[in-house]
């Protein structure tokens, strides 16, 4: 439901909307009316049809058919950095080797909530921007620009050349996230759960930081860790703006 609502709020109309007959139809009344008014074709379907199309995922009684979401080009990233349109310094999230679509969707949701200006992913070793990502992201996949770069280590080097401080996360780092300076232009680099950052990615970072772990587990899920780090950036930037 949230993903479809986000589409409509952005002025994007699905060409067709399938909804579940019966109880779900009554519950979705307002959403269906908005979609129809925007020009979507509404089709009532039994739950079994929606279940089959969703392939086991929870569809909440509604499935939208719309054009696939495409990542933006590397050239677009450099163009926007060259003429930075925002008053505050750039805050970018870089995901190295995050191939799980649920993790990517959750990271995009956290990025949107924290006001991240863009998410950078490698051309290879990255989850696709598919329907599951869009559902998990609850609209963030449409609102946060995602840039796909050919060579991640080289792209990080170019970010540094543009004055962006590249912070990588690693369990063996000496400093923790709360000691990092997020008030300046920053690219936060998160690695895949378990494997962490790849060697060339790690070497391309200006410095490495970690989350202080007080319990028995050694690491957090990448989307959870991303949320913690990003909201430390939010805290610092609000303090800097207030000061």
Binding residues for S-adenosyl-L-methionine: 191, 211, 220
Under 8 Å between Cβ of 116 and 141 = no
Tokens, residue 241: 């703006």
Helix ranges (DSSP H) in the chain: 2-9, 23-27, 29-38, 47-54, 74-82, 101-113, 131-137, 140-143, 152-161, 199-204, 222-242
Q: Are 117 and 94 in contact (CB under 8 A)?
A: no
* Pair 205, 156: CB distance under 8 Å: yes
The C-alpha atoms of residue 177 and residue 209 are separated, in whole angstroms, by 5
Residue 69 CB contacts under 8 Å (≥ 6 apart), including other chains: 129, 133, 134, 141, 142
Name, in order, each residue with C-beta under 8 angstroms of 237's C-beta and a sequence gap of 6 or more.
88, 91, 182, 183
Question: Minimal CA–CA distance to 176: which of 215, 229, 212?
Answer: 212
Q: Are 200 and 58 in contact (CB under 8 A)?
A: no
Q: Which residues are annotated as a binding site?
A: 191, 211, 220
DSSP state of 17: E
């Amino acid at each position: 439901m949230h993903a479809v609502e986000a589409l409509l709020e952005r002025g994007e109309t699905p060409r067709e909307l399938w909804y579940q007959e019966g109880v779900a139809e009554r519950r979705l009344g307002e959403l269906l009316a908005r979609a129809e008014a925007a020009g979507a074709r509404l089709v009532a379907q039994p739950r079994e049809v929606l279940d089959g199309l969703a392939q086991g995922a929870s569809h909440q009684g509604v499935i939208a058919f719309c054009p696939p979401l495409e990542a933006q080009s590397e050239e677009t990233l450099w163009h926007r950095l060259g003429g930075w349109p925002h008053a505050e310094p750039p805050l970018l999230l870089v995901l190295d080797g995050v191939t799980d679509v649920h993790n990517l969707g959750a990271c995009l949701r956290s990025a949107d909530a924290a006001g991240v200006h863009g998410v950078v992913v490698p051309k290879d070793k990255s989850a696709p921007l598919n329907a599951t990502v869009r559902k998990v992201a609850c609209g963030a996949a449409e609102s946060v620009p995602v840039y796909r770069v050919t060579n991640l280590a080289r792209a990080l080097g170019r970010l540094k050349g543009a004055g962006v401080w590249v912070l990588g996360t690693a369990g063996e780092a000496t400093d923790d996230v709360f000691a990092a300076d997020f008030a300046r232009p920053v690219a936060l680099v998160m690695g895949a759960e378990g494997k962490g950052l790849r060697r060339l990615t790690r070497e391309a970072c200006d410095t490495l930081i970690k989350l202080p772990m007080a319990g028995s587990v050694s690491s957090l899920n990448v989307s959870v860790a991303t949320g913690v780090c990003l909201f430390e950036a939010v805290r610092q930037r609000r303090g800097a703006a207030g000061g």
